[in-house]
């Protein structure tokens, strides 16, 4: 069959007729189980609802498939394929149907329909009809090969589950609502104006955002090669803006698509395990949960996760290399954007570097960038002393963006405590505290003219 082209016309029919028909199917199955007699009008109602489904399909109720599957797949679909998609999607589309499906198949233990219930609901009694069912769910069938449908479990209790991209395209929602196991939701947000970076770096970040937005369109509408990810590496010293840039990308995607994009940060403590195979299993579960969501996965300090593979001298080395290899292939297959950050690119295995769609190097800020960061990060509504010379402060002290953010907030705290405007003594104390974090003695030359505004004894 041919699915009608996707259209933005709000008059296109919805899939409500599909869920109403499945509701009647469940009523029939429940009546058979319990021996309850159905009303005389039930048969007519069922036939009328089946005609409503047929009319809605002809009018383009499934046109959303054109955005997630190539034309060759859509042309190969049959009516039974749409029946299977509707059955798999109904527990998500209409959650109230899920418990009813579960009660009809206690041996399966799932709210998604198993093959025995699917056969019953679609009234596939003849041997040829059952053979057709298995053909349409084989690994090489259009539904499964395109990722629209998944078959899980073992015979005879295999279960149909909808693909995450199918749910997003047809229901305009994510497959899951809760944060995936092993990741934390980041509430940080920013805009391009909040990033003080060289023009080339900003251009690369915009390119990555565009890659995420248009990836499916290029594959499905333009016939391009299917590219998973995209996968990006943000490399640079600590405090240069790598983590914050990920939040800017999430904000920009939300504005571009008109749909909210979540930013999740990997919790290594809940992923990494000393037990053989558990790290890979945890990572698989995390990425499967994120598949098809409007979500970016951010992995900080990725060089510790994707370190170089070494020579094998014992079983432990062999497993460590296998673990890194698995992560490489798993990230490559993930259908969604992943951003990894590292302070030292040379620590990342070279096999990973070749598979990144984009590598962005974040340089240490120069004097002009530092001035912009100070101006941006000092609370804009806070009172300031007239002698505050932001360019002079930026020129006097070489701090990263993260350190400037800490120092600006520290200075604001000192000013608030004294009930005064932010002044050079507050900046000097904050800068000195930031430089002393690594436990060494700070020289006067490192803070320039600000040392004249320190009231403490200089040691």
What's the pLDDT tens digit per position in 149-178?
999 998 888 999 998 888 988 988 877 777
The C-alpha torsion from 344 through 345 and 349 to 354, rounded to 10°, is: 170
User: Which of 78-87, 350-359, 392-401 has the lowest average pLDDT?
Assistant: 350-359
What is the pLDDT at residue 263?
93
CB atoms within 10 A of CB 136: 18
What gap in Å lies between CA 434 and CA 437, rounded to an integer? 6
- Asked if 74 and 2 count as a contact pair (C-beta separation under 8 A), the reply is yes
Structure tokens at 448: 């320039």
- For the entire predicted model, the pTM comes to 0.74
Helix then strand then coil, in percent of the chain rounded to 5, is: 55, 10, 35
**Residue 117 scores a pLDDT above 90:** yes
Judged against a pLDDT cut of 50, whether residue 7 lies above it is answered with: no
Q: What pLDDT does residue 41 have?
A: 94
Please state the rounded mean pLDDT for residues 214-227: 80
Do residues 67 and 216 touch, judged by C-beta distance below 8 A? yes
pLDDT (0 to 100) of residue 215: 86
Task: Identify which of 97, 90, 14, 89 has the alpha carbon closest to the alpha carbon of residue 53.
Answer: 14
The whole-number pLDDT of residue 6 equals 47
What pLDDT, on a 0 to 100 scale, did the predictor assign at position 8?
Answer: 41
Average pLDDT over residues 39-58: 94
Q: Which residues pair with 232 in a beta bridge?
A: 339, 358
Q: What is the pLDDT of residue 10?
A: 44
| Each residue's pLDDT tens digit, 92-112 | 999 999 999 999 999 888 999
* CB-count burial class (<10 Å; 0-12, 13-18, 19+) for 308: middle
- Give the Cα separation of 242 and 188 in Å (integer): 13
What is the reported pLDDT for 343? 85
Which is nearest to 264 in space by CA: 294, 242, 297?
A: 297
Average pLDDT over residues 291-313: 72
User: Does residue 265 register a pLDDT over 50?
Assistant: yes
Dist. CA 117–CA 159, nearest whole Å: 9
pLDDT in tens, 412-436: 999 999 999 999 999 999 998 888 8
Specify which of 251-255, 291-295, 430-434 reaches the highest per-range mean pLDDT. 251-255
Mean pLDDT on 129-137: 94
Strand order in the sheet with 358-362: 183-185, 262-266, 295-299, 338-342, 231-236, 358-362
Q: 184-209 pLDDT, tens per residue?
A: 899 888 999 999 999 999 999 999 99
User: Which pLDDT value is given to residue 9?
Assistant: 44
pLDDT at 456 over 70: no
Give the architecture-level CATH label for domain 367-453: Orthogonal Bundle (1.10)
| Unique residue bearing structure tokens 């009546």 | 31
Within 223-300, where are the H helices? 242-257, 268-271, 278-290
Residues 397 and 43: their CA atoms lie apart, in Å, by 82
Question: In residues, how long is the chain?
Answer: 459
Residue 303 confidence (pLDDT) above 50: yes
Domain 183-362: CATH superfamily, name plus number: P-loop containing nucleotide triphosphate hydrolases (3.40.50.300)
Report CA torsion sign: 18, 161, 231, 224. Answer: negative
Q: What is the mean pLDDT of residues 109-118?
A: 94
Q: Which of 146, 142, 167 minimizes the C-alpha distance to 90? A: 167
- H-type alpha helices, 296-366: 315-333, 350-353
Look over the chain and give the mean of its residue pLDDT values, rounded to a whole number: 86
**Coil, helix or strand at residue 232:** strand
- The encoded tokens of residue 17 equal 């007729």
Question: What does the pLDDT read at residue 254?
Answer: 93
Percent of the chain with pLDDT over 70: 92
Determine how many CB atoms are found less than 10 A away from the CB of residue 172: 9
Domain boundaries, the chain: 16-171, 183-362, 367-453
pLDDT at 307: 60
pLDDT above 50 for 330: yes
Contacting residues for 62 by C-beta, under 8 A, at least 6 apart: 3, 4, 15, 82, 85, 170
pLDDT at 12: 53
Averaged pLDDT for residues 372-380: 92
Distance (Å, whole) CA 434 – CA 272: 32
**Contact indicator for 306, 330 with CB cutoff of 8 Å:** no
CA angle at 367 for the pair 365 and 370, rounded to the nearest 5°:
55
**Of 347, 101, 155, the residue nearest 235 (C-alpha):** 347
Q: What is the mean pLDDT of residues 255-276?
A: 83
Q: What Rg value do the Cα atoms of the chain yield, rounded? A: 29
């Amino acid at each position: 069959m041919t699915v009608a082209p996707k259209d933005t016309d709000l008059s296109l029919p919805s899939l409500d007729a599909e869920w109403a028909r499945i509701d009647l199917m469940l009523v029939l199955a429940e009546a058979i189980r319990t021996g309850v007699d159905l009303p005389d009008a039930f048969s007519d109602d069922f036939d009328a609802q089946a005609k409503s489904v047929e009319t809605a399909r002809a009018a383009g109720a499934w046109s959303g498939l054109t955005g997630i599957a190539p034309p060759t797949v859509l042309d190969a679909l049959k009516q039974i394929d749409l029946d299977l998609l509707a059955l798999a999607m109904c527990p998500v589309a209409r959650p109230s149907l899920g418990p009813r499906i579960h009660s009809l198949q206690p041996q399966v233990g799932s709210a998604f329909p198993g093959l025995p219930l699917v056969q019953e609901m679609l009234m596939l009694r003849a041997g040829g009809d059952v053979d057709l069912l298995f053909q349409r769910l084989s690994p090489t069938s259009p539904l499964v090969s395109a990722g629209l449908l998944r078959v899980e479990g073992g015979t005879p209790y295999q279960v149909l589950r909808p693909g995450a991209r199918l749910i997003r395209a047809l229901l305009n929602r994510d497959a899951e609502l809760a944060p995936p196991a092993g990741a934390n939701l980041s509430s940080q947000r920013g805009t391009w104006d909040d990033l003080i970076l060289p023009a080339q770096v900003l251009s690369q970040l915009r390119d990555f955002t565009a890659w995420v937005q248009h990836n499916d369109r290029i594959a499905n509408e333009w016939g391009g090669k299917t590219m998973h990810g995209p996968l990006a590496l943000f490399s640079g010293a600590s405090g240069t803006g790598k983590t914050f840039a990920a939040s800017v990308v999430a904000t920009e995607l939300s504005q571009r698509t008109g749909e909210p994009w979540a930013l999740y940060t990997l919790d290594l403590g809940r992923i990494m395990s000393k037990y053989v195979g558990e790290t890979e299993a945890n990572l698989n579960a995390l990425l499967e949960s994120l598949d098809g969501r409007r979500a970016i996965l951010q992995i900080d300090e990725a060089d510790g996760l994707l370190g170089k593979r070494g020579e094998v001298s014992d079983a432990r080395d062999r497993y460590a290399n296998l673990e890194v290899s698995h992560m490489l292939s798993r990230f490559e297959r993930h259908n969604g954007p992943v951003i990894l950050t590292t302070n030292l690119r040379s620590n990342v295995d070279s096999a990973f570097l070749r598979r990144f769609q984009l590598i962005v190097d974040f340089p240490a800020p120069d004097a002009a960038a530092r001035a912009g960061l100070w101006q941006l990060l000092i609370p804009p509504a806070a009172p300031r002393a007239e002698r505050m010379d932001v360019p002079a402060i930026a020129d006097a002290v070489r701090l990263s963006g993260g350190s400037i953010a800490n120092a600006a907030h520290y200075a604001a705290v000192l000013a608030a405590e004294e009930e005064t405007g932010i002044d050079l003594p507050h900046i000097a104390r904050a800068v000195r505290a930031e430089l002393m974090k690594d436990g060494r003695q700070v020289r006067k030359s490192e803070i320039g003219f600000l040392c004249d505004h320190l009231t403490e004894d200089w040691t």
